[in-house]
Amino acid sequence: MIKLSTGGIEFRCSLPALSGYLLLFGLLCSLGLWQLSRGEQKTILLAQQQEASNAEALDLTRQTGIDSDALRYRPVLVSGHYDAVHQILIDNQMLNGKPGYLVLTPFLPDGGQPGILVNRGWIALGVSRDVLPDISISMVAQQVRGRINRFPEPGLKLKGAEIPGETWPVRVQVLDNKLLADKLGYALSDYQIELDPAQSEGYQRQWKIAVAIPPEKHRAYAVQWFGLALTLTALFVWTSSRKIPRG
């Protein structure tokens, strides 16, 4: 038993109780510090993303083997033509509370490198799922401008959601570029180009620079963990203290 007294207050607790308090206090503080660290990492990541988006557009024509993660959000240009016959609709995409699709169209660069899926934006579902929207596009030679990004990721991945249908345009819930490449009969790059909003032949495009959890939320979580540590300390002191009787 540990006993301390000062100013007419006696503090008394057992060694196991003190050990338990110190363990929980350390854990809560560690979680708070971890959240602060994550918030700082996200701040740096957002700054890097903003820097990449403001960089000069990189011409991908005739370039192979690029590091798509290092170039994420970088503006790019590429010359070639769309494969208008084979297009992909990513299902269950919500915008402003309305259901719809993301339209991804393969683009074949002039340099002969793997095809690149160009995300042309969001289009509304329409009156019925049985009637697909008109997403026709020209196959003339052109130059497209956009930014490099990873493929869209669903919040919940269901089994078989990545398997494309038999007819074009195919409708999927999860994009698997390897499965699509097998169906297309030619290689696909491991990234998408989000079509610049100023480019024609696109739909609603509200591309954002974001992370799943923003830095502010990590800091808010840190405050909660530190608050719990403070509350735990107050409760421990309160339950372990008593006034020393006079006389």
Counted domains in the chain: 2
Task: Judge whether residue 161 has pLDDT over 60.
Answer: no
How confident is the model at residue 154, as a pLDDT?
Answer: 61
Give CA torsion, residues 178, 179, 182, 183, to 10 deg.
-140
Please indicate, yes or no, if residue 66 is contained in any of the structural domains. Answer: no
CA distance 91 to 164: 11
Task: Judge whether residue 140 has pLDDT over 80.
Answer: yes
Same domain? For 139 and 174 the reply is yes
Task: Judge whether residue 158 has pLDDT over 60.
Answer: no
Mean pLDDT (the chain) is 86
Which comes out higher in pLDDT, residue 50 or 120?
A: 120
Which comes out higher in pLDDT, residue 163 or 187?
A: 187
Q: Which sign does the torsion angle of CA 183, 186, 191, 192 carry?
A: negative
> What does the DSSP 8-state code read for residue 204?
B
Per-residue model confidence as pLDDT tens digits over 25-52: 999 999 999 999 999 988 888 887 788 7
Task: Judge whether residue 160 has pLDDT over 60.
Answer: no
What residue numbers bound the domain in which 168 lies? 74-195
Same domain? For 191 and 224 the reply is no
Task: Judge whether residue 167 has pLDDT over 90.
Answer: no
Same domain? For 102 and 160 the reply is yes
